[in-house]
Amino acid sequence: MLVTLTEVIDGVKGKECAIPAFNVFGYEDAAAVIAAAEQLGAPVILATNKVAIEHMPIQHLGKLLCSMAESASVPVCVHLDHGKDYETVAEAIMHGYSSVMYDGSQLPLAENIRTTQEIVKMAHACGIPVEAEIGSVGYSDPSMNVKACYTEPEEARTFAEETGVDALAVAVGSVHRMEEQTAEIQFDRLQAIQDLVETPLVIHGSTGITDEDVKRLVTFNVVKVNIGTAIRMAFGHTLREEMNRQPRQFDRITLFQRPMQAVQDAAVKKMKLLGLG
Ligand code: G3H
Ligand code: ZN
């Protein structure tokens, strides 16, 4: 069933678990992620970023993912990831997304607060919850041109109070798109933020976090954990193996079988670390 971010968050409040938001790019990885959630009988978030909506226009992607969510036997939230402007967020809502992230993390604090307030007003009027980011989670790839900066707990409090966002992404040591699990999470900073901020917290760039630290995250007020690279690697590396194993095969439906299973297995593994299933 298609659910909003708030419904997903309410389901994990007070429990030592968090919901993964897996970045998906089309039917195959979305189907594999939903299969993982159904295997564990747990809720899940399908997240689509700029790359995904540049590849498949948002009106098609929204219909596809919402339709898949509606037929799932578990709660599935369809989420816009790192929306960079008002128009993109509004378009996602128009096309059925049940959750949006506005990412003003590269703006000065006052401007991030002002633009987030405008988006919260519009999204809440449509019944859609909003995630925003304070501090900035950087990228392992410098060509992304994203300036990283850790979240200051006091700023997080001001931001949460003034914007009224439903979930708050914070920068506590993770880095987007790491292929190895070598991020160093600052649990003291996370605790200091949580001591001042009531809003449920979100961790981005979670592929780079060790399994042990992912398990530890759920003991904090972290309700959503974003994972992209881990399942892109599962799909891509397995597809390469399949193409090498079957060099004469050209039917993509056949070639996609094992990569889809690899995504499902990788998603199940992450969900178990997050205390689900
Ligand atoms: O917003 C998406 C995520 O933060 C994914 O990060 O690809 O490093 O797991 P990741
Ligand atoms: Zn992210």
Predicted confidence pLDDT, tens digits, the chain (277 residues): 999 999 999 999 889 999 999 999 999 999 999 999 999 999 999 999 999 999 999 999 999 999 999 999 999 999 999 999 999 999 999 999 999 999 999 999 999 999 999 999 999 999 999 999 999 999 999 888 899 999 999 999 999 999 999 999 999 999 999 999 999 999 999 999 999 999 999 999 999 999 999 999 999 999 999 999 999 999 999 999 999 999 999 999 999 999 999 999 999 999 999 999 9
The answer to whether the beta carbons of residues 217 and 209 sit under 8 Å apart is yes
What is the C-alpha separation between 26 and 69, in angstroms, rounded? 13
- At residue 134, the 3 state secondary structure works out as strand
Q: How many separate domains does the chain show?
A: 1
Segment (H or E) for 184:
none
Using the mean position of ligand 1's atoms as its centre, give its distance from the Cα of residue 203 in Å: 9
Residue 10 among the catalytic residues: no
**Residue type for position 95:** H
- Looking at residue 108, the DSSP 8-state letter turns out to be -
Strand pairing of 201-203 and 222-227?
Answer: parallel
Using the mean position of ligand 1's atoms as its centre, give its distance from the Cα of residue 210 in Å: 14
Judged by its nearest atom, the ligand closest to the C-alpha of residue 205 is 1
Query: Which of these, 23, 13, 134, lies nearest to 78 by C-alpha position?
Result: 23
Instruction: Check the annotation: does 204 bind a ligand.
Output: yes
CB atoms within 10 A of CB 61: 26
Structural domain boundaries enclosing 88: 5-273
Using the mean position of ligand 2's atoms as its centre, give its distance from the Cα of residue 249 in Å: 35
197: tokens are 């901020």
What is the C-alpha separation between 238 and 88, in angstroms, rounded? 33
Burial (CB count within 10 angstroms: exposed 0-12, middle 13-18, buried 19+), residue 180:
exposed
Instruction: Check the annotation: does 79 bind a ligand.
Output: no
CATH number of residue 231's parent domain: 3.20.20.70
Task: Tell me which of 23, 77, 140, 201 to substitute to probe ligand 1's pocket, judged by most ligand atoms within 8 Å of the beta carbon.
Answer: 23
